[in-house]
A and B are shown apart, each in its own frame.
Chain A
Amino acid sequence: MAGRNGSTNTHLLDVATRVAGWADRGEQVEVFVAEELETEVRAYAGEVESFTSARSQGIGVRVVANGRQGYAYAGTLDPAALSETLQEARDNASFAEADEFNGVAEPDGVDPVEFDLFDPSLDDFSTDDKVALAVELERCTLGADQRIAGIETAEYADTRCESAIATSTGITSTSRETGCYLATYAMAEAAGETQTGFGYSIGRGPESLDVELAASEAAERATRLLGATKPQTSKLTVILDPWVTAQLLGIIGGTLSGDAVQRGRSFFADRVGEQVAVDDFCLVDDATNVDAFTASAVDGEGLATRPNSLIDSGVLRGFLHNSYTARRGATSSTGSAVRAGFKGAPGVGSQALALRPGTHSQQELIAGIDDGLLVQGVSGLHSGVNPVSGDFSTGAEGLRIRKGALAEPVREITIASTLQRILLDVTEIGDDLQWLPMSAAGVSLVVADVMMSGA
């Protein structure tokens, strides 16, 4: 895909290739170079609260010599910094211990998918238009319902990222993408009580943004919790809202990383081929799906991404691998190297997880439950879930389900089970699959026998 920005992309690859070319004999070098342009506009009380405009770039270099690995980075592409960073990575490698499986990726003959994640219209979207969108988002959120008393934030943000990877083993890859979103956080008030709700809209370019949708979603989420009380503790069936399911899938994805498995940090180790989930549970990680906001043609080591079936009809099929875990596990990379920017070496993880959707809408799922809970939001997943042991406990808020219909809102509760049990206690999967701004798609998920802890 040709574009006006192709030249910049070439520039990044030139830098990466040049540095990778400095590899000494008997040494492997991997170079990741990235550049990002970001804008963020926040509106408050009808005015611009803050406007941030930023351009950042950086380089990360991994060196493997004699089985030892070192890494260094710099937040600049200044010519002097390039060789310094390589030198520093080399020096770091000399202090690490050797591992026969260390190494950068090698070309594996798999061609990256061709897709376009770059919307050039973002370049033509003026600053005034961005400001107007943010202000409009705040206005719409405040006007969406009489009970909306204020907002915490209403913002427009966009990003334009380009990156390149080159290795001394012959890998060269580039990628570029755009993204923009609207996000609003509303506060609803009634009888001295406040509840909050967020709404968002996301896309590759500004045309796909929907102000009304973001505003009404935030207002609905906030207002429907008004009057929430703390219920009695009981065991019941829950429906996880798509947003919550996507977060759960992200945690399960972590336990399926080859790295967690090989280092004895996954309860899925040694269970390939076993039934670990209910029959309907089919989980795929596929960054080649262009609908995913985390879609990418290449992984963090420059290899082509590919669809990976992880759990098929409830049976564990395999794990995700980068080039290191593949060598160590005597298998092939699944194109699952992930990296969080240029500040660290690639790890291994899921990129775009999705469950195979079922056939019922969320409303139909609700209609089938006599006594349950629709979980609208969760908090403290980082503190209450242990992906190694599988313990799962999280703060929650939502609406009770009584006799097949949504009933009173509840708050200040936790829901708890274990990850192992949740997979076996899934009774239905909704038809409402939607890609969310995280590395997973959401879908309504019905789970039986979850402990709701309250008064």
Chain B
Amino acid sequence: MLDHELINRTLSTALSTGAEFAEVFVEDKKSSSAMLDDGRVEELTSGRDRGAGIRVVVGDTTGFAHTADLSEAGLAGAAEVAAAAARGGGGGTRTVSVGSHGTSAGATAKIPPEDVAKTVKVELLARADAAARAEGSQISQVAARYGDSRRRILVANSDGLLAEDDQIRTLFSVSCVATGDTGLQTGRESVGRTIGFELFEETDVTELARRAANRAITKLSARPAPSGTMPVVVGPGGGGVLFHEACGHGLEADLVAKSASVFADRVGEQVATPLVTLIDDGTMAGEWGHFAIDDEGREAAHNVLIDRGVLTDYMWDHLRARKQDRPSSGNGRRQSYQHLPMVRMTNTYISNGEDDPDDIISGTESGVYVAQLGGGQVNTATGDFVFGMTEAYLIENGEIGDPIRQGNLIGNGPETLRLIEAVGNDFAMGSPGTCGKDGQGVPVGDGTPTLRVKALTIGGTAA
């Protein structure tokens, strides 16, 4: 993507104020999307973002600048700004020679989306629209969206690292509105993979549309959600959001380093019931949070964070790992070349337990079954977290009963981990997500088998 000599000269400029570490991150991203709404293919959008971010580290100070100008002058200008921002004194000249190590991965897509005619993409939307509307006259509105992106990155740093990756992602979503005597309700389904257009060989968009439509129709007869604390069973796949919020963010080393996490200083401790093994794994080929190298050039890794209830490690990026004199765990990610990397999750999941999912439900006298979760949010310093339920049912006498309306659940991370009392053997990955932290969004995946939390607080309106 960039000439090696030019990279070396840029890194030397970045080191000119005496920095101990400098890095060039180059990104060339092409995106395209098509949107159907209100029965029509409304608009196709395509765009290109290309540029470089230059990071310079002196002691505990990081200087950062970015530019869309990849010429020698543009890169030198950004390197000087970043270097000036991180003045370490000393100065002098250091030459850099990149290329001594690092991974270079090519695109793994079988069918690159850019090779697929726009008419083919648009036709998917129309099929989804028709399938959703055919589910019932209650379906009053359908929006379907197709999106793909190809993100080529190059990372080079003053340690000599040079690594490249070519990341292709494809996404499809359907959102339906159902109208009835009780008002309007919504249902959404999405699928996203780090693969090309072959996504649609394994995913039937009409099936996706039917599920979204039925979710909206089912919710028309939903009762107000209960309020108060009770057992909650989360269906396969969806529960990943719960762990993403309950403890995932709290295990990010940047927050731990500032003691802004309830999990700080707790490695080696039993933080969850022995049923819980939590893994963050950027190597899961095809999953939404997958990549060959992270945005600091480190290879993706399979990291066990909680092993049978015992906290084994945090997630690390370059900066935080360097301070602890340990390797990064491949969790340094950024939204784009315009952003500084920080510790982020990739694909975060709970591995299979031994319980039969049917037994988990039938063993619940009364409570709530959450079939689909929405997003969530956590305050890592207190551990309090929320997540939304976008499809949920009451459990009465061990059976799934009436649907309930949308709302949030709230709990406390460390407490919730100690209240996981059943983990099923039906592991599944959940829907593609965008994790937001500090204003940056990155694609993440998650997964869980069916599981039961002894007590969570349901944010409903019914007494």
Contact = CB atoms under 8 A, between A and B. Distances in A.
B386 A150 contact: no
Contacts of B60: 44-45, 47, 49
A39 B186 CA distance: 41
Interface in B257-273: 258-260, 262
A54 interface: yes
Interface in A380-414: 380, 382-384, 386, 388-391, 393-395, 397, 411-414
A193 to B, nearest CB: 8
Interface stretch (A1-9, A93-101, A203-211, A294-302): A93-101
Interface of B is mostly: strand
A14 B186 CA distance: 45
Interface string B375-396: 1110101101111100000000
Interface stretch (B41-49, B202-210, B352-360): B41-49
B179 A264 contact: yes
Contact of A395 (B37, B44, B408, B460): B408
A416 B219 CA distance: 18
A99 B38 CA distance: 11
B119 interface: yes
Interface in B225-252: 225, 227-229
Interface in B403-445: 405-412, 438
A345 to B, nearest CB: 6
A235 interface: yes
Contacts of A187: 259-260, 381
A18 interface: no
Contacts of A93: 44
A384 B42 contact: no
A95 B459 contact: no
Interface residues of B, number: 83
B102 interface: no
A344 interface: yes
Contact of A412 (B42, B45, B338, B411): B411
Given A73-B45, A263-B37, A453 B64 contact: no
B337 to A, nearest CB: 9
B177 A52 contact: no
Contacts of B258: 44, 150-152
A72 interface: yes
24 contacts: A50-B61, A50-B340, A51-B64, A52-B64, A52-B340, A53-B64, A92-B44, A92-B46, A149-B259, A152-B258, A194-B381, A196-B379, A264-B179, A265-B177, A384-B374, A384-B459, A389-B184, A391-B407, A394-B408, A395-B384, A411-B382, A414-B458, A414-B459, A416-B461
Interface of B: 34, 37-38, 40-51, 59-69, 81-82, 84-86, 118-119, 122, 140-141, 177, 179, 183-186, 219, 225, 227-229, 255, 258-260, 262, 338, 340, 373-377, 379, 381-382, 384-388, 405-412, 438, 457-463
Given A97-B42, A416-B227, 17 more contacts: A47-B59, A50-B61, A50-B340, A51-B64, A153-B438, A196-B382, A264-B140, A379-B379, A380-B408, A382-B377, A395-B377, A397-B384, A412-B412, A414-B409, A416-B407, A416-B460, A453-B457
Interface of A: 44-45, 47-57, 69-76, 78, 81, 88, 91-93, 95-97, 99, 127, 149-153, 187, 194-196, 230, 233, 235, 262-265, 267, 343-345, 379-380, 382-384, 386, 388-391, 393-395, 397, 411-418, 451-455
The 6 closest A-B pairs by CB, nearest first: A383-B388, A414-B459, A384-B408, A393-B407, A380-B386, A51-B85
